[in-house]
Structure formats: C-alpha cells, structure tokens
Structure 1
C-alpha cells in the first residue's frame, strides 16, 4: 500500500509541476528531473526495484509506439541525410567516446563501457519539442529532431542489447553477437508490419466504437514487443514498424470518437510513464549514493560529470562539423546537392544543443541486471546525464532560440489555409444541388468558414456562426445544470446530455482550442 500511496503523491506533484512549467514557459521534463532529485532525497520514500525486462517493455514500448505513430515516412525520406548523420553517426560516436571514457577513467569492462555509452547516447525530443513549438522554428528542423528521437532509440537500444548480452556471457566477444542483428533487425520489422496488418483487419469489424478498441491497441503494442523477444528478433524495431503501419492506415479505419478517445488515452499514459520514470530514477540514485561513500562517491560523481560533458560536447561538435562539411560540398559544387538539406550555422547549433536525454536513457538504466558489472556507476552516470542535459540545455534552449533570432515558420498555417479552402469547396460542391432553407443555412456556414480559411495568419479562427452557436450551447448547459440541481432529471440523464453538449461545443470552438495541451 505504501508504494501505491507514494505513486499517487508522485502524480500529484507532477501535476503541480506541470502548471509551474506552463507558467514559466519551461520544458516540463526539466522540472520533473529536478523533482526526481528532490524525491530521492526524502528518506521516507521506499526504494522500488523493477524487473529489467519489465522496465524496458513497460516504459519503452508505449513511448516508441506513440512516437512512431506520429512519424511521417515522407519526412524521413526527405531528411534522410541529416537523419543518418544524427541517428547513426552521432549515436555511435557518442557511444564510442563515452565507452572509451568508461574504460579509461572508470575501469569498466569493454562491454559494460559500451553499455553505458548506448544508454546515454539517444536524445529525447520531448523536452526540445515542448520549447521549440512555442517559437515556431522551421518545421523541417522540428521534424528532423522528432524523427531522430524515434530512430536513434532503435539504434542505441540495439547496441545496448548486444553489449548487455556480451557482458553477461563470459569471454564472449561483442563481435560474436553482431551476426544476430542481420536477422533480428529485418525480422523485427517484418513482424511489426504483419502485426500491423492483423490489427488493421480486426479493428473495424470487432472493436469500432467500443472502449475495448483502446485496450486492444495496448495489447497489440506489447504483443509486438513480447513476440519479438520470444522469437529473438528486435523488439524495438518491431514496435516502431507496428506503430508506423498504424499511423499510416489506422486513422482512416477509425471513427472520430474512437480517434479522440485513443489519442487522449495514449497521451495520458505516455506522460504518466514519463513521470514515474523520472521519479524512479531519483530513487535509484538515492540507493546508489547510500552504497557509495568517501573516495568512491567522489570518483563516481567526477566520472558522471565527465560523461555529461562528453555527451553534450560530442553532439554539438558533430552537428556543427556535419553542417560545415555540407556547406563545403555546396561551395565546391556551386549548388546544393539534390535531396540533401544543408542547415545554417544557427539551425545547426540549435539542433546540436537540443540533445536532452530522457525516458529511454532512464528505462535502459533500469533494465540493467542487479549483478551487471559497474551497475551503480552506470546508473548514476545515466541519471547525471538526464538531469544535467534537461537542466542545462532544457532551461537555456528558449533563450538560445531568441538569441539566434531564428525566423518563425508560418508554413503550417499556409498549408492549413490551403487544405481548409479545398475542404470547404468540396463541401459547397456537394451541397450545390440541395434545395431549401436548411441547405442555404449550411451553405452560408461553409462560406463563412471558407472566408476565415483564406486568412493564412489565422486559418482556423472562429466564425460568427460558431460564436453564436457557442453562446447558445452555454445557455443550454446552464439550463441542464438547473434541471439537475432542481432534481427534475437524474444524474444518468444529465451525463448523457452533457456528453452531447461536449461534442457540440467541440464542433463550435476554434480548431486550435480543440486539441489538448501537452502540459
């Protein structure tokens, strides 16, 4: 019961921190990381142990699915060159540099040092995106950071799995584990796509319009992970392939109510897992600090600071080097190479500085077996990297964007305007032959919406019709509340009509206000 009560307290604290982060315009993961430190310092909070396999599946699978669902294959193809640079080169370079430091300065075995490098290598886009969206930076940059966050998780976790297996097998070189990737990676992708096809075949005839549809989504997500593990395939690649398959085809097979509920539930679940992971990391760090003392503790903290500095420096240096190399190629050719994005120095530095670590780093640290070589030092270093990047980079990325004077990107509003005009024209064409006053009223509504959509600065603003309808709905709500208070209707009737008013109001308010805020 104590654990359950403490989890509830964690969630209450997280809700309060989120309100603070919104008012201060700070990324909420940064505040959660600081809260994890504060929680770990409280002696009355119990230590919580996680089964390593459970930690990976519980924390990683839903986060991967959520990111993969929103990832556009078109954007991945469009940004393939910088993505390869960040996903492969930056992650592997960071892993190698940190592994060298672990071997040279901390005396870790090679496999354990590589494991540490793989744990701290993949950045998490949550904190960066939370800040960057406020400043409307170029969409391609934000898309690159989000795509990198998904794919580098897969690369780092593959390296992590190989290194952990090598560390657990006596005298087994890491190279001997590499051939299994030739089967595990494509096999995981095939499994994910097959499970995606099964889901798409079953979702409409069996689960459309029911709450079990959301439960089935979670079951299939964890099934993609568990089946891949049982078949000795890559569970990460399996979940990513499953999520991208669903992202492309599932929305068109679902009704609006299913989509609204599904997005809300998934957003809440992934956010809750982030909250628990940050707090659990604080508890893990407390246990490690309790076991270390004197020179051992000093050495561990010094090494953790070295790892943090290397993680930040390697990413910034590589991104700037890549940008300089691409600009040199452009200068030599006299033109930009076809299909290759060349970032400006300002954008390059922003991308390099946006390498905050988060959920994946924490979850993989949790997943280390209790008897893993150098576990305490690795987990403490991972926590230092998460905390340090989220505080140092997370608190400064907003002022950095202002200082770099990056022009706001209005291309999404232009696309929204274009699409809404086309949608309104299609609706007016469909109603053109309809007679009667009712059809005239509906046509007037669409014409008003089309006029609003033509304004690219605010293409989703409220029309006069919407404003009047919202006023009428507020009056309806007051009447409904009065009937309930007077006892003329029972609560079940009240809630049924309340839901009807909710959907009507969602249809009457500006589209930008319909979406839930991330914090």
Structure 2
C-alpha cells in the first residue's frame, strides 16, 4: 500500500502536467498520455500496474458512459438517429466481421471466433480521443452530434460482439438461435433496466431530503448500480447506463436543485478527467508486460507489429468504406436528411474525414484487459498476449497517425470550415437571450402589474433584467422581491425547456442559458 499509493498520486500529477503540456502544444492529451505512460513503464523499480480483468469494465466504463449520456444533446441524437444507428451497429458489425475474416486468413491459429473477439475489441472509436482532437478544429454541430451519439451506442454493440465471441472461444461452438435470443434480451433488457432504474433514482432525488453533497454522492454510485444490476440479469450493462443516463439527463431540472447542478458539473468534470487520464496512462504502462507475454509464447516482436499494422489498416479502410456507403444510402433513400454541403467536393470529402475520426482508446483497452487469463478448466486463453499487443498497437497508431493528422486534413480540405457560420450561431444565441428578456418582462407585467409602479424594488429588478448591471448594494432585494425573482427564474427555465423543442435552436445554447440561470439563483441565495 505504501508503495502503490505514492505511485497513484504521482500518476494523477503526471496526468495534469501532460494535459497542460498538450494544451500548450495544441494536440490531443490522450496522445501525450499514452506516450508518457509508455516512457514511464521503462523506468526501473516502478510497481507493476495490474488490474483484475473481471473488474476493468466495472471500474471505468459506468461513470464514463454516464457522463457522456448526461452531456450529449438528445435532441441532436434524435435528429441524426439513422446515421448514428448505422454507425453504432451496422458499421461496428461490418468492422468486426472484416477483422475476423482477415485475421482468420492471415494469422496462424486465429479462428473466426478469435477474430470476432479481436474485432469486437478494436471496432468502437473512442469519443474522448475524438473530442480532444476536434477541440482544436471547428466542426459542425451535426458532425459532432453524430460522433458523440455513435460513441455512446457503439460501445454497447461492440461489447455484445465481444461477449458472444468470448463464449464461442470458450465453448468452441456458436448456436445462432440462442445467440439471437440473448442479443434481444441484452438490447431490450439492458435499455429497459436502465430506464427503470433511472426513473427510480429520479424519484429518490425528488422525494428524499437530499442536498447538493448527497445528490452528487448518489449520482456517483448510480451508474455503477445500473451496470451491475443489468449484468447480474445477463443483459447489457452498457446500454443500461446509457439509457438510464439519457433518461435522467432529460429530467435534470425536475430533481436537482441549481446548487446540485452547478457543483455536480465541476465534480464530474474532474472525476472523468482523472479516469480518462488513468486509462490512457495504463495503456502505455501495460506494454512491457504484454511484450514479455509475447516473448514467452515465442512470437517475434516484428511479427506482432506486422499483425497490428494489418488490423489497423483493416479498421481504417472498413470505417471509410462504411462512411461512403452510409452517404450513398442516405442520398438514395433519405436525401432530405443528408448533411448539407455547399459543393460536390465537400460532400465527397465529408465521409473520408468522418471515416478518419476512428481513434481507439478506453473501451478497446478495457475489453482487451477483460479477457480472462485462463478458462474455468485451467487452460490458458489462446493468443491473449497477441490480442493485447495488437489492441495496444491499434490504439497507439490511430491516436498518433489519425489523431495528429485529422486537424490538418480538416483545415486542408475545408469541408467543414465553410459550413460553420459563426455569425449565425452567435445570432441564435443573442436571439435566445433577447427572447428570454422579453419573456421575463412580460411575465412580470402580466403577473405583478399593480406592483410595478412606484415600487423601487421592482423597478430595480426590471432595470437589472434590461441592463444586467451589477449592484453594489443588495439592500433593495427584500424577501418579497427575492421570492418574485426566484419565481421569474423558474419561469425562464420553463420557457427555455419549451424553446428547446424547436429544432432550429441548438441545445448547447439552451444549456448555457440554463447554467446562467442556475448561477443567478445561487447568487440570490447568497444575498
């Protein structure tokens, strides 16, 4: 304990330092974290980082998925559900199938089941890596929504493939009828369990006498409960967390106070930052042990590197092919929902760039590390070290090659830059703010018309709404005026919730305004 604790604290410090350095260099922090972990692993005398394969999913996945579901725009997901669904399920299966066929043909001793196992591990792109990279390049809301929605669902589909392949490798057989029924239960049962638990947790927050610390504490353990209960019932824990997280996110105004929402945002941001950093460092730290496993099996390093290059090439090609296939199918069957492009060149370039966003990361590592070392009968799992090495190489290559070149390609192609109208985004934001002011004024006029004239407090309240001035003297805010102001803020939230139903208004703008209202409410509580 006295050896590992300083090491873990040092890891957190390294994560912070490398992230700051990455921001200064304007590159995605997962790239530096993986390289940093790799370099640190060669320092002699460091404790070996080992995680129980049975716990790797449970430790990292639930909070990462829950936070992603909480922050994504569900309105954008509904808008682009066809493309998101095709990438999250059809593309993942096509990618896993491609990897299975190629590895079965070219890697000695690799069965179709092992190929599907590897395909399920490396098929889902990593949302953290993509988000960190695209932070330095402006991309349209539609593209961002597609990538975020895909990342939520493709984890579930890839892990379902992984689970079935793991059973096939262990038993040596695959019964399609049983697999189809199990698949339906995993999808429907997982989503249903998540929705049910999400509803229960919402009611608990609403009716229990919770405050901000207890709300946040409950939210930290809720994704673990969703995942654990779903897995115990042999359904998809990933889908349970995603569906439950989306359900709770859509109702955040109903069961969380403004204090809980503001504080939870900071807590979750820091918690997820540390978890992601830990995972990417572990990716680098695990390599020496994986290489030792290859040597013990008599597999030359050059051969293993060649297999990793092969699988990486298959993944990139499969995703690009799938991107063009999705565009063609959309233009043929649903041309009205195809993403807009101002020229034919842009339309042809967009799928290529979308296909180039397939960086791998957290989920792939977690799945690979979750492969058991041996079966229940004591027999060693076949090619485990080779699968781990290929997974590591895929993550490293996609982060370095695609991650470092994606911003350049986007800027060079100009496929996205011309379609992002900053003036239009700003005009929408300003229009929402102005409409909110008009709504606030009309609310006060209609409900408290008799109290406006000659009331110094109400006149100052209106002046505050119109000019947003900062008063140095809060004596005018008596209890009656504060009560009216609180009522006004709640009316603003209801107005914004209704406005969010308008598909032309970005949900990000709505959430920014809601956050400002929460901050205003907190300021009032301090008076």
Q: TM-score, normalised by structure 2?
A: 0.80
Cα distance in 2, alignment partners of residues 111 and 403 from structure 1: 41
Which one of the candidate residues 422, 428, 433 is aligned to 1:415? Answer: 428
Deviation at residue 295 of structure 1 after TM alignment: 5.2
Show the counterpart of 1:359.
Answer: 362
Rate the CA distance shift 1:6–1:89 in 2: closer, same or farther, 3 A: same
Show the counterpart of 1:141.
Answer: 143
Deviation at residue 14 of structure 1 after TM alignment: 1.0
Cα distance in 2, alignment partners of residues 413 and 230 from structure 1: 48
Deviation at residue 110 of structure 1 after TM alignment: 2.3
CA contact (8 A) 2:58 2:224 kept: yes
Counterpart check, 1:49 vs 2:53: no
CA contact (8 A) 2:258 2:519 kept: no
Counterpart check, 1:370 vs 2:373: yes
Which one of the candidate residues 409, 418, 435 is aligned to 1:400? Answer: 409
Q: Structure 2 stretches of 5 or more lacking a match?
A: 342-346, 375-380, 473-515, 522-527
Rate the CA distance shift 1:185–1:504 in 2: closer, same or farther, 3 A: closer
Q: How does 1:63-462 map to 2 (within 5 A)?
A: 63-106=64-107, 107-173=109-175, 176-293=178-295, 296-327=300-331, 329=332, 337-341=335-339, 344-371=347-374, 372-405=381-414, 406-407=417-418, 408-410=420-422, 411-432=424-445, 433=449, 434=452, 435-449=454-468
**1:53-76 CA deviation, whole Å, 9 max, x = no partner?**
310011111111111122333322
Rate the CA distance shift 1:9–1:285 in 2: closer, same or farther, 3 A: same
Deviation at residue 176 of structure 1 after TM alignment: 4.2
Aligned length: 454
Deviation at residue 253 of structure 1 after TM alignment: 2.1
CA contact (8 A) 2:134 2:407 kept: yes
CA contact (8 A) 1:82 1:341 kept: no
Cα distance in 2, alignment partners of residues 172 and 85 from structure 1: 25
Show the counterpart of 2:33.
Answer: 32
CA contact (8 A) 1:128 1:356 kept: yes
Rate the CA distance shift 1:507–1:391 in 2: closer, same or farther, 3 A: farther
CA contact (8 A) 1:137 1:409 kept: no
The secondary structure found in structure 1 opposite 2:292 is helix
Deviation at residue 127 of structure 1 after TM alignment: 2.4
**1:91-133 CA deviation, whole Å, 9 max, x = no partner?**
1111111112322222223222211101100001222223334
Show the counterpart of 2:477.
Answer: none
The secondary structure found in structure 1 opposite 2:212 is coil
CA contact (8 A) 2:57 2:366 kept: yes
CA contact (8 A) 1:66 1:266 kept: yes
Rate the CA distance shift 1:174–1:291 in 2: closer, same or farther, 3 A: farther
Q: Structure 1 stretches of 5 or more lacking a match?
A: 331-335, 450-464, 470-502, 509-519
Cα distance in 1, alignment partners of residues 307 and 323 from structure 2: 25
CA contact (8 A) 2:67 2:268 kept: yes
Cα distance in 1, alignment partners of residues 21 and 304 from structure 2: 32
Q: TM-score, normalised by structure 1?
A: 0.82
Rate the CA distance shift 1:101–1:414 in 2: closer, same or farther, 3 A: same
Rate the CA distance shift 1:162–1:23 in 2: closer, same or farther, 3 A: same
Q: Pairwise CA RMSD of aligned residues?
A: 2.5
Cα distance in 1, alignment partners of residues 406 and 56 from structure 2: 30
Cα distance in 2, alignment partners of residues 231 and 420 from structure 1: 47
CA contact (8 A) 1:83 1:144 kept: yes
